[in-house]
Structure 1
Amino acid sequence: MGLFGVLPFLLVSCITFLLILIRRRDATKGKLPPGPTPLPLLGNLLQLDVRNIIKSFQKLQEQYGSVFTVYMGSRPIVVLCGYGTIKEALIDNAETFGGRGLIVSVDEAIRDYGVATTNGERWRQLRRFSLKTLRNLGMGKRSIEERIQEEAQFLVEALRKTEGHPFDPTIHLSHAVSNVICSVVFGQRFEYEDKQFVFLLEVINKCFWELLSTSSQMKNFFPRLMRILPGPHQKMPKYVKELINFVSQRVQIHRESFDPNCPRDFIDCFLAKMEQEKENPTSEFHNENLDVTVLHLFFAGTESVNTTLRYGLLILLRYPEIEAKVQEEIDRVIGRNRSPSLEDRSQMPFTDAVIHEIQRFIDLSPVPPPRSVTCDTHFRGFSIPKGTAVVPFLSSSLHDPQHFETPRKFNPRHFLDERGSFKNNEAFLPFSAGKRVCLGEGLARTELFLFFTAVLQNFHLESLQKREEIDISPDVRGSSKLPRPYNLCVVPR
């Protein structure tokens, strides 16, 4: 057989092989929800834009409805769209949809430890302990609210030093928000110029941007291949090691002054639990889980609140009439001579509505880390095998037209009734829902209210642009939305 006879034979053989693989995959996946036809090895890579997963999911929702399946390489992922679907899965069937799916882009050294990425008994024990500890710290001698109020005043003083000149608020807000979680976890805040503090924030920021990078998104499709290919994603183990070393050093400092009868912060409480269970060979309270849980709290308590505050100030620059109305409410309820407190929130419905609408509108984490089903389950006429990854597409709930009158526009009236009182909206799920709802939701809500009101109590916001030129559309990075870079001026009131 000559060369020209071999080539058609090889081509037919390859096509036949690919068709057999597709048929086998279809046979083994049962009645998974519909979705684009995956290719062997590639999955749906060619049908998805890894630089904008959000837009890809929106198109697939229009085509396939509220439940569909996509393949990340060979891994099927079931995507849930719309508040009704997400509620039915995560809330009505919370136990079944309460597992944590594999997060490939997270460094393997920490994936099996801590409170955010684990499953089973380890996750249950660590989450129960973390929730209880954060709640107790909120009711202790020095509450979390007091820590935030103190940090808000440091932030106000830092903003005063800008003396009305234009600046990028990213660093100021990052320092303030990170110091809150430092106070909760380490029992102390850092001066904004502290070298260790600056180093910690720089490494966390590098990790954050690496998780948003295209190479990390590609790692979800081809984990084995990306593990050996060069690229920015290979830096993650180095960053994680630096963060673990930092946390370990702080833990050692705590051990040297540890008093089990007087815990000062989260680390002390964890050390006390370790001491209590030291005779238990199956205890989940050990050094690895302590270090990684602290890292999880840092990530949950730093970037999300910082970004929400930064995006919120940009929106208020675009809508100065809303800023003015918030400040009128602040002056009437709080005045200028005392710090805002959580007790004020119930008397400030418009401010509360604005903060909720900021969270809804910016849609910070439209595609959260995947869940997994904990058993074979039937859902809306489909069969989902145990262990299958499930992603609640939160953007489809936060912009659900059945629950929000103008879903694509910034509109605080979404959270106000006819009398101007605050009203909850069940489709408001910025922290997700169910068993895996964000561990730091309560802390984040407290920070957002106290920081926003402290800044607006003391300053007017001014932009270098005309309000009509201010772009509040998101800068989409993979599966996240970020505010576009901007400068502003803060002028004392």
Structure 2
Amino acid sequence: MSILSLPVILLTTALFVGFLAMFWSRDDGNLPPREPGRLLVGNVDIKTDAAMLFDLQKKHGDLITLKVFGQTIIVVCGYNTIKEVLVKHGESTSAHTTSFGFSEYFELSGIFGASGTKWRNQRKFGHETFRSIDSGSNNLESRVLEELPDVFQEIDKMKGTPFDVSRLIKTSHYNIISSLLFGQRFAHDDATLTRLVDLLDEVNKIVPEQLALNFMEWLKYVPGDPFKVRRRRFLVDEIFKIVEKSVDEHKETLENPKSDDFIHSFLQEQGKRKLNKESLEGFADRDILILGYTLYFTSAPVVDVLYWFILYLMHNQDVVVRMRKEIQENVGTNKPVTMADQEKLPYCRAVMYEVLRMCFTKVNLSPTHTFSEDLTVNGYTLPKGAWLMAALCTVNLDPNIFPEPEKFKPERFINENGQLFGY
């Protein structure tokens, strides 16, 4: 057998297995209306843009069934139905799918990769740790404010000429995460920070290219590494090395810590468990590397929100003028705006609400959840094991909730008394 015939055999085998899976997988007769798909692959060609999701909602209602390589996916649309599924039945829909990345690179650890006892332990630890850090003098807000002078300095270097702000945003954001994780921030030209930004940037570009591996993991064996499985492995290991270097430094100063940070808290928890002879599940040496990476990787959507925030302000100068006026009149310009000032700045907060509404319209499907038991919603059965995707655009662009939803109008969140309110 020639080497060239191997991919053909693998592909043929996978298609055959996929064909059987589509017919052998559970297909409850009371599923929500199903969108017709292609033979073998199902609805793999469905685009998750707003226009397509609104068409599906108009055609089928708030609940739609898709099939992708035999996997049942329930798309949930509309405010009331999304609220019922994710809030009323939150206990049954809080589980998440096991994506290729978390099984391949992170041994199903980390807040978004673990499950069961490990997930509960790590989630509880993370919540308590960040609450403790945020209650101290060196809280999250102070770490953000500490970053601002370098941001302004980098902008001043441009002397008013156009420049790509994306690199500056990424550098500043990951520097704040580094401060929380390592207890230290870096100069913007520091080699470690520069390397970290480059690594994370490339990882975030690779992840969408590996979506098919969530359905057909065998594709990672295709010669030539077309899905960049080995390349991502290298990038992840390089990020682990950066985190591991800081962990080793923290171990040397564990008795007299230099700062209150995530790694220090993890090592303290690990030591306490060892002393009490408790299980180290979720708190082994490898877990801190994965948790550290997770802090960087899962915070990437914040960077996207900042991009949109800048874009909308650039194209709505009247909003900028009104925000500046509100800050000048209620806070002044002699000190930075802080969280303590937010009650004085209802319009500025309304702008943030509107940016979130608009930018999460671009990210139409929320992170994938899965059903841990059968549910009955709107007369349909949502089966255990099916994936759940919430079509957020069907809420954020619903004219019955947000009149003229395509327009950027922060004042929609301000009442007649000039006070901020939510929908």
- Listed one character per residue, the Cα deviations across residues 387-429 of structure 1 (whole Å, up to 9, x for unaligned) are 221111222222232321221211102211122211122xxxx
SS in 2 for 1:137: helix
Judge conservation of contact 1:219–1:226 (CA < 8 Å) in 2: yes
For 1:188 and 1:261, the matched residues in 2 are separated by 12
How far apart are residue 28 of structure 1 and its match?
3.8
Q: What is the count of residue pairs matched by the alignment?
A: 402
How far apart are residue 358 of structure 1 and its match?
0.8
Change (3 A) 1:77 1:19: closer
- Listed one character per residue, the Cα deviations across residues 261-293 of structure 1 (whole Å, up to 9, x for unaligned) are 886201111111111112223532222322212
Alignment pair present for 1:233 and 2:228: yes
Change (3 A) 1:196 1:21: closer
1:419 alignment partner in structure 2: 417
- Larger mean CA deviation between 413-422 and 258-267 belongs to 258-267
1:372 alignment partner in structure 2: 370
Change (3 A) 1:263 1:152: closer
Change (3 A) 1:217 1:57: farther
1:389 alignment partner in structure 2: 387
Judge conservation of contact 1:45–1:221 (CA < 8 Å) in 2: no
For 1:353 and 1:369, the matched residues in 2 are separated by 25
1:309 alignment partner in structure 2: 306
Alignment pair present for 1:91 and 2:87: yes
Give RMSD over aligned pairs: 2.4
How far apart are residue 191 of structure 1 and its match?
0.6
- Partner of residue 249 from structure 1, selected from 245, 251, 262: 245
For 2:380 and 2:170, the matched residues in 1 are separated by 44
Q: Which amino acid aligns with 2:149?
A: Q
Alignment pair present for 1:193 and 2:192: no
For 1:187 and 1:282, the matched residues in 2 are separated by 24
Taking only the aligned residue pairs, the percentage that are identical comes to 25
Alignment pair present for 1:74 and 2:70: yes
Change (3 A) 1:31 1:322: same
Judge conservation of contact 1:102–1:389 (CA < 8 Å) in 2: no
- Larger mean CA deviation between 152-161 and 179-188 belongs to 152-161
Alignment pair present for 1:31 and 2:43: no
1:447 alignment partner in structure 2: none
Structure 2 runs not aligned, ≥5 long: 1-16
For 2:19 and 2:272, the matched residues in 1 are separated by 58
Judge conservation of contact 2:109–2:282 (CA < 8 Å) in 1: no
How far apart are residue 198 of structure 1 and its match?
0.5
For 2:52 and 2:215, the matched residues in 1 are separated by 15
Q: Which amino acid aligns with 2:132?
A: N
2:41 alignment partner in structure 1: 42
Superposition map of 1:463-474 within 5 A? none
1:359 alignment partner in structure 2: 356
The normalised TM-score by structure 2 is 0.88
For 1:341 and 1:416, the matched residues in 2 are separated by 21
Q: Which amino acid aligns with 2:332?
A: G
For 1:20 and 1:129, the matched residues in 2 are separated by 43
Alignment pair present for 1:224 and 2:218: yes
How far apart are residue 143 of structure 1 and its match?
1.4
Judge conservation of contact 1:18–1:40 (CA < 8 Å) in 2: no
For 2:406 and 2:389, the matched residues in 1 are separated by 22
Structure 1 runs not aligned, ≥5 long: 1-16, 426-493
1:326 alignment partner in structure 2: 323
Q: Which amino acid aligns with 1:29?
A: D
The normalised TM-score by structure 1 is 0.76
- Listed one character per residue, the Cα deviations across residues 198-249 of structure 1 (whole Å, up to 9, x for unaligned) are 110111111111123xx32333443323552531432222221221222122
Change (3 A) 1:36 1:361: same
Q: Which amino acid aligns with 2:240?
A: I
Flag the structure with more relative contact order, 1 or 2, with Cα contacts below 8 A and sequence separation at least 6. 1
